[in-house]
Structure 1
Amino acid sequence: MFYLRPPGTKGSAAAPHLPQRSGNTGGLGSILPLSNCPQLQCCRHIVPGPLWWGSRDPSLSALIYKDEKITVNQDVPVHEGKPHIVHFQYKVTEVKTSSWDAVLSNQSLFVEIPDGLLADGSKEGLSALLEFAEEKMKVNYVFICFRKSREDRAPLLKTFSFLGFEIVRPGHPSVPSRPDVMFMVYPLDQNSSSDEE
């Protein structure tokens, strides 16, 4: 589960972190999956939008799905108990892709919405990610988080609400109490989808 680390805090064994965006590090926190595993260096933003890269703990990467529009790879951690990093690439056009990285933990997928403008095709890419998470990964929830101080907060809330995300209320057991961070969740009812099959 993710939360933004308060500025100036260090990572710990109980809270591995996803480093903050390069090029915009002044006082901004990092995304942290909550688990009892050693520090996990995951992703660094290198360009505006949801394109992430970074040095990670040694892991094996496996292609888990590919079709004409979407490619999904998963980093399988070498050490037990580490969360799985999932990389989604959605082909918007012949030359443009929308990329999202997420952490898979406890039947939930956690996605950070990076600072800055989202790349063209991000909405379509996230929609494809949600469909894949529901139909292929069988997760129960998809969480997103972003800073409340973003200038584009209102359009983001509107866009994610339109996609079916709901604002996570304070005190939700899956997310920490962080007044500076907006959490939204997309609940997936796996019981109804398995009844339809």
Structure 2
Amino acid sequence: MLDITCPYDGDCGRHFDSSAMDASDGAFLKTAIGKSMTFMFLHCPACARMFQFNPVAWTAQACEAVAPKAARPAKKSGKQLEKLLTREKVALPQAYLAHLRSAKPRPDMAIFTDEAPFTLYSLDALCKDVEVDGTSYLAVRQLAGFAQALAQAAGTGSKQAAPFSPAELAECLAIGEENTRILFIDSRDNDALWIYHCDGGDVEKTGLTVTSLMGPGAP
């Protein structure tokens, strides 16, 4: 294989062989090459930063993925946060919004047995700014950024996030995360919970629903 060049040439720019990457990244790259995928995320073994990679064209592109920024120094009240969500046309299920307003919203949830639990966004965390591919989004809307990246890399007919089209994925609301996995609500029924894998662009159904988040242990 050819060397890969870290796209963060301002502070890294290292040339490296795929064998230098983390084992999971290396295995995923081989799978992506076999499937002729044109969009994925890898990590530079030198600076550890995530970047977008096209295994077909063998090109790397810098991106800033799901990194919260303290863009609003003054803490907003619950009413202000809800107004912000309304202004951004974010329609969370009413029962879940009421749960977030409660004194003790659920902080996390184990989605899979023997795996790390997902941190569930508070009302404040939903409204934090995150950057995806250099563009700022509310955390709850960050999948719009990933959907746009998928569409740009593979076209609007991309099947990488199947069964979601890029347009459908863009409408899904992110409500939690665990490392590079984002927990989101299916925009098609506003109830089923899915996981978006930032490092591969694929999705995974959990078998849980928004109601599950308000089950045992929730107020």
- Considering the TM-score relative to the shorter chain, is it more than 0.5? no
Give the greater-gyration-radius structure (CA): 2
TM-score range, shorter chain: under 0.3
Higher helix share: 2
Higher strand share: 1
